[in-house]
Amino acid sequence: MEKGNFVDYIRIFCRSGKGGAGSSHFARTKFNAKAGPDGGDGGRGGHIILKGNSQLWTLLHLRYHKNVLAENGENGSKNKCTGRFGKDVIIEVPLGTIARDEVSGDIEAEVLHDGQEVIWLAGGRGGLGNSNFATPTNQAPEYAQPGEMGVEGYKYLELKILADVGLVGFPNAGKSTLLSVISAAKPKIADYAFTTLTPQLGMVPYRDNRSFAVADLPGIIEGAAEGRGLGHRFLRHIERNPVLLFLIPADSNDHAKELQILLDELAAYNEELLDKKMLIAISKSDMLDDDLKQEIAQSLPTDIPHLFISSVSNMGITALKDMLWNALTETDSDSVTA
């Protein structure tokens, strides 16, 4: 989405460098006019490399650099001198970036760690010089290899935000308010739908100097899996979150139905999303009495833990942090065991 300062999807043209041609040269010395073939190899063409940078959170810096061209390798020369390699192009990207080919749609590279370098498009190999082809029966080969062409084409870079917990809910469910209370993030908060148009990240401090990352994701609407509202551009960010916190406002007309719509949209986009650890928080619960809380609790699924919270009065916020931390540590333990 290219709006404001947050860009999570961009199309660029890439071309790795062409390999240099091998040299077809014969040595001529003062004392030996036929010293034999001494053509050097061509240099490799420049790679296009993706490098993870934890200080980046958007692809905005690539918006005005949509043609990425690596340098060609130099040709080989006499005295078996190899040509200079083409200069590599390093593209720094935020963690969670995926590179796809425009034509096939295949994932070609994925960057998940800070400092991780992935050769996205390899430069063409340099051609061999004629000195490589000399044999006892062919002592003066007059041919050398040309350099290989580089790889070129239109590509997509797609960012899927890396966060421990993803906040999932309808527009105006209170996700931004909750994030502003449990972290130092300052998302836009207003009393209308789709206040949040781009994902917002916040680090939540926990006991013993521990912390975890929470992503406030733009609200789902019914039909999001088919592209309505923010559609796929929102849903793909959920794929990176090991824990999903469904936020349902206390003043909802039907809490169970609202939850089911959210689950249906996730399943329609990618059924594997339903395998994630899920929690439910009923927001704005300071307006509920005990009877209403019990009535709402009875309508919710018994296999998904739930909690009543209020971001305004801080009701249940500490318990929510505990529940999220426990879910995260259980998820980590499960992945290690698996």
Tokens of 201: 């990240």
**pLDDT digits 0-9 by tens, 114-134:** 999 999 999 999 999 998 998
pLDDT at position 225 over 90: no
| Verdict on whether the full-model pTM lies above 0.75 | no
DSSP strand pairing (211-216 vs 165-168): parallel
pLDDT at 227: 45
Tokens of 235: 């849903």
As a whole number of angstroms, the distance between CA 40 and CA 78 comes to: 6
Q: Which residue has the higher pLDDT, 219 or 308?
A: 308
The full set of domains in the chain, from first to last, is 2-159 (2.70.210.12), 165-337 (3.40.50.300)
pLDDT at 229: 44
pLDDT at position 221 over 90: no
As a whole number of angstroms, the distance between CA 338 and CA 330 comes to: 12
As a whole number of angstroms, the distance between CA 174 and CA 189 comes to: 9
Cα distances (Å, whole numbers) of residue 18 to 127, 128, 145, 250: 10, 14, 13, 62
Are 7 and 60 a contacting pair, CB within 8 Å?
Answer: yes
pLDDT at 155: 93
Write down the residue that tokens 């909802």 correspond to: 252
As a whole number of angstroms, the distance between CA 271 and CA 222 comes to: 16
Question: Which stretch of 43-57, 171-185, 277-291 has the lowest confidence by average pLDDT?
Answer: 171-185
Cα distances (Å, whole numbers) of residue 13 to 7, 17, 63, 64: 17, 13, 12, 12
3-state class (DSSP) for residue 276: coil
**pLDDT digits 0-9 by tens, 30-50:** 777 777 898 999 999 999 999
Tally the C-alpha atoms within 13 A of residue 76's C-alpha that lie toward its C-beta: 31
As a whole number of angstroms, the distance between CA 237 and CA 252 comes to: 25
